[in-house]
Copies of this chain bind each other. A is one copy, B any other.
Amino acid sequence: MDLWLKESQIEDAVMTYRVKQTLIREKTEYQDLAIVDTYSFGRMLVLDGIVQTTVRDEYVYHEMITHIPLFTHPNPKKVLVVGGGDGGAVKEILKHPTVEKVVLCEIDGEVVKQCKKYLPEISFALEDPKCEIFIGDGIKYVHEHRNSFDVVIVDSTDPFGAAEGLFGGSFYKEIYECLTKDGIFVAQTETPFYLPEVVRDVYKDAKAVFPITKLFMAGIPTYPSGFWSFTLGSKRYDPQKVNLSSTADINTKYYTKELHIASFVLPKFIEDLIR
């Protein structure tokens, strides 16, 4: 049997992966969850037909969504991840020696359970004593925790269905309140090649809330177009002006201190998009 996964995010430009085996497929309370083993990227988590993370390229996304805010903040102790049930962001966050506590707030407990079982090299840090897992609504959690986190990372699915409320000005205002007085927020914000209006609107919404708002980019082969944006909002520290010379040396495969700065330099069409 020649089994292929056809990714369903972009209608007329469809990425397909040859599949060795489907390890789990189920309807959860929130979404269609699958973990499949592929020839090109190894095991991958697929939610509602869209690839979320793979064992081969997860490092790009998880390093960039975490190390940029955590090295921009001089002393991050408490970190909140909204979404991110695969545990990849937590794995990277716990490489920072200043971090005392990470809360993972994931709406779908099945994602955590199945990633622990089938993606241990991504999810292992979820067992760390510094990590607290809260299964529930991120919007509610953020609302109920004022002035509580140095960094908030929104590691969500795309802005349709379950994650829709995690994009937009009203949630960013709640995040602002959830952050400490010099806190930093980051979210994954799609690709400007296919969804320019999402990139533009998220940037505009974040900019209305945070005094410093910037976009940065990374090359992620299993996300549509391969060229992905992240939006960062900061109360005090500018991620491009931070002094990185004395930050901790951590083991990475994508992030470097030089790339930290360079990833904020945008192609002209993206600059124009968010002007």
Copies in the complex: 2
Q: A39 CA to B11 CA in the complex, in Å?
A: 9
User: What is the chain B residue whose CB lies nearest that of A39?
Assistant: B12
* CA A271 to CA B253, docked complex, whole Å: 10
Chain B min CB distance to A198 (Å): 16
Q: Which of A148-156, A218-226, A231-239 contacts B (4 or more CB under 8 A)?
A: A218-226
Q: Name A223's closest neighbour in chain B (CB-CB).
A: B226
Q: Are B271 and A265 in contact (CB under 8 A)?
A: no
For A265, the closest partner residue in chain B by CB is B262
Whether A28 is near chain B, meaning CB under 8 Å from some CB there, is no
A71 part of interface (Cβ distance < 8 Å): no
Whether A17 sits at the interface, judged by CB under 8 Å, is: yes
A243-275 near B? 1/0 per residue, CB < 8 Å: 000000000111110110111011111010000
- The reply to whether the CB of A14 lies closer than 8 angstroms to some CB of chain B is yes
A254 contacts which of B15, B254, B268 (Cβ < 8 Å)? B268
Q: CB of A16 within 8 A of chain B?
A: yes
Distance between Cα atoms of A57 and B267 in the complex (Å): 13
Q: CA–CA, A217 to B73, complex, Å?
A: 28
Closest chain B residue, CB of each to CB of A16: B14
Nearest CB of B to A187, in Å: 19
Complex alpha-carbon distance, A247 and B13, angstroms: 38
For A16, list chain B residues within 8 Å (CB). 6, 13-16
Q: Indicate with 1 or 0, residue by residue over A37-67, a CB within 8 angstroms of chain B CB atoms.
A: 0111100000000000000010010000000
The answer to whether A210 has its CB under 8 Å from any CB of chain B is no
Known: A221-B225, A265-B258, A271-B256. A40 touches B12 (CB 8 A): yes
The answer to whether A259 touches B265 (Cβ under 8 A) is yes
What residues of chain A have their CB less than 8 Å away from a CB belonging to chain B?
4, 6, 10-18, 38-41, 57, 60, 191, 193-194, 217, 219-221, 224-227, 252-256, 258-259, 261-263, 265-269, 271
